[in-house]
Amino acid sequence: MPAVPKLCFPSSFLCATQAERDALRRALQLLVERLRTSLHITFAILLARRHMNGNRHAEAAESFIRTNGVHFMLNGNPLFVNGFNAYWLMNMASDPSQRDKVSTAFKEASINGLTVARTWAFNDGGSNALQYSPGSYNEQMFKGLDFVICEARRYGIRLILSLVNNYDNFGGKKQYVQWAKNQGENIGSDDEFFSNSVVKGYYKNHVKTLITRYNAQTGVAYMNDPTIFAWELMNEPRCPSDASGRTIQAWITEMAAHVKSIDSNHLVEAGLEGFYGPSSSSGLQTNPGFQLGTDFISNNQISGIDFATLHTYPDQMLTNSSDQSQLQFLNNTLDAHIRDSSNILNKPLLVTEFGKTCKDPGYNCSKRDDLFQAVYSKIYDSARTGGAAAGSLFWQLLVEGMDSLKDGYEVLLNETPTTARIISSQSRRLGLLSQLHSK
């Protein structure tokens, strides 16, 4: 601010001479002019900043994410991610009376600096399905997804869209297998989702239908919309009937290539939880007791997979263990996956799910805050030193009025100020790190 002239008031204004009064009047006029100028400058700066922020959001919506080694790239600059899961967005948006919850979620996320959301682009079978039967779609549900994409763009948030579920919720591989059985296919296990040619044809058709969908609100095909960060082949693929990993390895290879053959704009990831398999026996200690047909190393070495993912829930992996033991397990898990993503895969690592349930005995918010802080510290330390950890997405964001979706892992930002502060702090320092590396 420009220097303000010093005002010298006489001991009694009424007794002041005319010259003193004139001097005071001139000083006051000068003060008013300089304050007015200062306010104009301040307003101009704020307007410029708002314009630049608007340009950044437009830039975020108009440029596709790329990878370069262990980094996500946006317009040639490294990008670090702080985000959230909200699987429910499409379902909620398909009901116009509930759409405000989608907007509120994006607004609250944006206020806290979150820039990526992971959500379901599937709901197979049932009365409120996206896909009633193979190739038969619910336009109202599709319009809900259209709305989600528009709102995400509005708030400067990108989307990871998952294409099918491993589990029965929202249909999943079980529903695909049942559709094939209804057509006379002799299928013995839901794991044949990954190998049966008819089932794979259903999945490929869904992928093509979704990727080539024209958004009813924008007229832009999903495959041409940079609001989409990446396609996820499946939420947590598992094939316990083939612990060798060959079945899922072949499926990921085939389906990643299928997505890329339709859409060369977007990144693709497999949706893996991060379990180690036969290709890395030394890593098996990070997933004790879990042999589910996936392999963090070999699955992510597939050329059509652009980045690795990890889901980590120490309270599920080490039930009945102390909080300290769970945090130590978490740190070891993160260290192993960050190291292998850097040294073996040479691809970015995104922790696409993590959290702590409030349903455990003795839970309090500080315990969840400790876990969030542990994840965020590992991510930041890796990012600032050139490592593969590029960001994380907590499970899960809800807003007021969604009690029926509470699963114990929910985060309501307006109701948990300590957690919100930790999330915002991570957003700020990753944002500053991105700016520091910008050209």
Q: What is the mean pLDDT of each run of 10 residues along the chain (439 residues)?
A: 40 55 64 49 37 41 90 96 99 97 98 99 94 98 98 98 98 98 97 98 99 98 98 98 96 99 99 92 69 94 99 92 94 97 98 96 93 98 97 98 97 97 98 87
Whether residues 33 and 69 fall in one domain? no
Would you call 400 a catalytic residue per the annotation? Answer: no
CA distance 5 to 391: 51
377 and 346 part of one domain: yes
Tally of domains in the chain: 2
3 state DSSP class of 313: coil
Check residue 62 and give its pLDDT: 75
Q: Are 359 and 222 in a shared domain?
A: yes
The dihedral sign for the CA sequence 140, 396, 200, 170:
negative
Radius of gyration of the chain (CA): 26
Q: Answer whether 80's CB lies under 8 Å from 383's CB.
A: yes
CB contact at 8 A, 241 and 193:
no
Beta strands in 13-145 (DSSP E): 66-68, 71-74, 77-79, 81-85, 116-120, 131-133, 136-137
Select from 309, 215, 310, 297 the least CA-distant residue to 267: 309
Distance of CA 84 to the CA centre of its chain: 5
Neighbours of 408 (CB within 10 A): 13
CB 310 within 8 A of CB 333: yes
* Active-site position among 236, 269, 273, 410: 236
Residues 57 and 168 in one domain: no
pLDDT of residue 25: 67
Among 62, 78, 102, the domain boundary falls at 62
For the beta carbon of residue 185, count every other beta carbon within 10 angstroms. 15
Is there a single domain that holds both residue 287 and residue 403?
Answer: yes
Calpha distance 380→390 (Å, rounded): 8
The answer on 248 and 195 residing in a single domain is: yes
40 Cβ contact partners less than 8 Å away, ≥ 6 residues apart = none
**φ, ψ of residue 314 in degrees (nearest 5):** -55, -30
Q: Are residues 72 and 50 in the same domain?
A: no
Residue where one domain finishes, among candidates 12, 46, 62: 62
Domain finish residue from 62, 77, 97:
62
d(CA 418, CA 366): 8
**Spatial separation of the C-alpha atoms in residues 385 and 389, rounded to whole Å:** 10
User: Which of 151, 192, 232, 353 is the catalytic position?
Assistant: 353
Within this chain, do residues 52 and 155 fall inside the same structural domain, yes or no? no
Residues 53 and 168 in one domain: no
Report CA torsion sign: 135, 141, 145, 146. Answer: positive
Whole-angstrom distance, CA of residue 308 vs CA of residue 338 = 10
Question: Is 151 labeled as catalytic in the residue annotation?
Answer: no
Short-list 393, 332, 313, 395, CA closest to 80: 393
Compute the distance between CA of residue 358 and CA of residue 330 in angstroms, rounded to an integer: 17
What pLDDT, on the 0 to 100 scale, is given for residue 6?
40
Identify whether residues 83 and 20 lie together within a single domain: no
Claim to verify: residue 387 and residue 292 sit in the same structural domain: yes
pLDDT at 19: 63
Do 234 and 32 contact (CB within 8 A), yes or no?
no
- Structural domain for 299, as ranges: 63-436
CATH number of the domain to which 355 belongs: 3.20.20.80
Cα three-residue angle 143-59-438, rounded to 5 degrees:
140
User: Do 47 and 144 fall within a single domain?
Assistant: no
Tokens of 213: 């969908």
DSSP 8-state secondary structure symbol assigned to residue 341: I
Q: Say whether 431 sits in a helix, a strand or coil.
A: helix
Angle CA 322–323–329, to nearest 5 = 95
